[in-house]
């Protein structure tokens, strides 16, 4: 099923579609013999794999999310549990779907405008001037530059960074404008 549907996570459900576990492509790969195993050992291992049930292999203590969960909720589980997919279940534990790292990546790419045609992603140092975010918004707006995202990233013991995504057919002009107002660009 994993190969047929080109997926990496398969929820295991009971007769009423309630989650009882999850099997991943990694679980299956781990069950098969190594490529450096002798032919005889491989044959024995394949025989054992053929007798192994999903119940013997599945993970039963898996984290789940409800359909109302946020991307941040999913990110926290991915980070904490080091998994590649999270079952989405209803209140009565019926499986509604799987949310994968690829889904999370696609959602964040959409939120932050990655791959939007004509968009430019710019990072500048936050130099602690008062109302710096408002200054950026006003500067770009007054110069007819469409600002679609603006984020301030504060990290402990590091320079605070500001990231913006703008739409412009003249990226050099955007950089010149920001530089003329004293903004310092982050190194790539």
- How does pLDDT run across 58-67, given as a tens digit for each residue? 899 999 999 9
**Last residue of one domain, picked from the residues 109, 127, 148:** 109
- For residue 40, name the pLDDT band (cuts at 50, 70, 90): confident
How far is the C-alpha of 41 from the C-alpha of 54, rounded, in Å? Answer: 22
**Last residue of one domain, picked from the residues 92, 109, 126:** 109
For residue 152, what is the domain's CATH number? 3.30.70.260
Total structural domains within the chain: 2
Q: What's residue 130's pLDDT? A: 92
For the chain, how far is it from start to end, CA to CA, in angstroms?
42
> Is residue 21 located within the same domain as residue 100?
yes
Does residue 171 register a pLDDT over 80? yes
> Is residue 148 located within the same domain as residue 76?
no
- How does pLDDT run across 45-101, given as a tens digit for each residue? 778 878 888 888 889 999 999 999 999 999 999 999 999 999 999 999 999 999 999
119 contacts 113 by C-beta, under 8 angstroms: yes
> Is residue 94 located within the same domain as residue 66?
yes
Asked if the structure places residue 155 within a domain, the reply is: yes
Does residue 184 register a pLDDT over 80? yes
> Is residue 52 located within the same domain as residue 144?
no
145 contacts 154 by C-beta, under 8 angstroms: no
How far is the C-alpha of 73 from the C-alpha of 32, rounded, in Å? Answer: 33
How far is the C-alpha of 104 from the C-alpha of 81, rounded, in Å? Answer: 15
Asked if the structure places residue 45 within a domain, the reply is: yes
> Is residue 83 located within the same domain as residue 12?
yes
Range of the domain at 51: 2-109
How far is the C-alpha of 86 from the C-alpha of 101, rounded, in Å? Answer: 9
Structure tokens at 30: 């781990």
Structure tokens at 10: 């398969």
> Is residue 91 located within the same domain as residue 137?
no
Asked if the structure places residue 185 within a domain, the reply is: no
**Last residue of one domain, picked from the residues 56, 86, 109:** 109
Cα distances from 20 to residues 97, 132, 168, in angstroms, run 14, 51, 51
């Amino acid at each position: 099923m994993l190969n047929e549907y080109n997926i990496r996570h398969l929820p295991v459900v009971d007769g009423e579609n309630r989650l009882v576990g999850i099997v991943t492509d990694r679980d299956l790969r781990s069950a098969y013999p190594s490529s450096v195993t002798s032919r005889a050992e491989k044959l024995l291992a394949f025989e054992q794999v053929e007798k192994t049930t999903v119940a013997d292999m599945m993970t039963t203590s898996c984290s789940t999310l409800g359909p109302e969960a946020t991307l941040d909720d999913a990110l926290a589980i991915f980070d904490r549990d080091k998994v590649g997919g999270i079952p989405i279940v209803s209140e009565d534990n019926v499986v509604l779907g799987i949310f994968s790292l690829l889904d999370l990546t696609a959602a964040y790419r959409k939120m932050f405008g990655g791959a939007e045609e004509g968009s430019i992603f710019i990072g500048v140092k936050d130099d602690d001037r008062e109302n710096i975010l408002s200054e950026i918004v006003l500067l770009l707006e007054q110069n007819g530059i469409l600002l679609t995202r603006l984020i301030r990233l504060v990290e402990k013991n590091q320079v605070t960074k500001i990231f913006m995504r703008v739409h412009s057919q003249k990226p050099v002009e955007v950089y010149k404008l920001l530089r003329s107002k004293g903004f310092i660009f982050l190194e790539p």
